[in-house]
Amino acid sequence: FEAGEGALLPFGGRETGYKGFGLATMAELFAAVVGGGPVATDPDQAWRGNGAAFLAVDPAAFTTPEAVAAKVEGLAEHVRSADPIDGEGGDAPGDDRILLPGEKEHETRQRRLEEGIPVTGTVAGDLRDLAAEQGTESSLPEPLR
């Protein structure tokens, strides 16, 4: 592909796109060496499972909790200040908020805790039928009875 004719640039562009390769290589080596998984060069290995490695870092070893909170909030504000792509943003039409990873799920969880989990009529009927079969109708939440 030639530039401008459908070619995709690496994450980070021409000058710094190699950084994604470095991160991918590091992740593969951690998962293979620490987690016992294969690497791309392992010939036709019948791998069944998941090679994984976990790294835990205690920020208090390097700085104060206040400094961590300030950095996190500063980055969150910076991300949220970005312009939405093509007018898209949050979860609903007309919602052009920029959300952080996990923020949508957190909002959904909070809403479900306050309002309950929406259940379609078909699913509600199936739950009532199943509860009747098992003799556990009284255990159904009030909205499903």
Give the tens place of pLDDT for each residue, 78-134: 999 988 776 555 556 667 888 999 999 999 999 999 999 999 989 999 999 999 999
In a domain, 24, yes or no: yes
Contact, 85 vs 109, CB < 8 A? no
Residue 21 lies in a domain: yes
Kindly state whether residue 136 falls inside one of the protein's structural domains: no
Looking at per-residue pLDDT, the higher value among 88 and 143 belongs to: 143
User: Is 84 domain-assigned?
Assistant: no
Which tokens belong to 69? Answer: 């909170």
144: burial class by Cβ within 10 Å (0-12, 13-18, 19+)?
middle
Across 50-69, average pLDDT? 90
Which has the higher per-residue pLDDT, 99 or 22?
99
Q: The domain containing residue 30 runs over which residues?
A: 1-40
Please check whether residue 120 lies inside any domain of the structure: no
Write the DSSP string, the chain.
--TTTTPPPPTTHHHHTHHHHHHHHHHHHIIIIIT----TTSTT----S---------GGGTS-HHHHHHHHHHHHHHHHTSPPGGG--SSSTT--PPPPTTHHHHHHHHHHHHH-----HHHHHHHHHHHHHHT-GGGS-GGG-
pLDDT, the chain, mean? 83
User: Quick check: is 31 in a domain?
Assistant: yes
Whether the model clears a pTM of 0.75, i.e. scores above it, the answer is no
- Total structural domains within the chain: 1
66 domain-assigned: no
Per-residue pLDDT for 39 more than 70? yes
Q: Which of 75, 97, 79 is nearest to 88 (CA)?
A: 97
Tell me whether residue 1 is in a domain.
yes
